[in-house]
Amino acid sequence: MTNLQQSTLTILLYGSWKFDKNSDQRYFRGRILKSEQLGITKGNLATVTYAVQHNQVMKHQEQGGYTLKTAQAKLTLMSFLCETIGQPGHEGRDDTVPAHWAARAILKTLPLHRA
């Protein structure tokens, strides 16, 4: 019998959101600052989108999901938070200004079957 195991992964990025919060074209574009995931390397460009099932974009106050994409990988995120907000000089919530962000993904792995 095998059990599904989950582990979390944090990826740090620097970038900003493009388009208005209610736009169906809205996306985050930035560079990877730190990653422990193979194939997602420091300096690589990344895009984060927010959507619901069937690729329907929702308003920012509604629930949906974040997806991080690079040229080498695609990860579903459990959270995507700005780390700069709350630091001195960065109290505003203008997410179109470049800032430090943390993407947190859940990685699902199946352990080897044990007899």
The pLDDT of residue 1 is above 50:
no
The pLDDT of residue 29 is above 90:
yes
The pLDDT of residue 103 is above 90:
yes
Are the C-beta atoms of 37 and 12 separated by less than 8 Å?
no
As a whole number, the mean pLDDT across the chain is 80
pLDDT, greater one: 70 or 24: 70
* pTM for this prediction: 0.75
CA distances from 4 to 49, 109, 110 (A): 27, 6, 5
Long-range pairs, 63-67, Cβ under 8 A, ≥24:
66/103
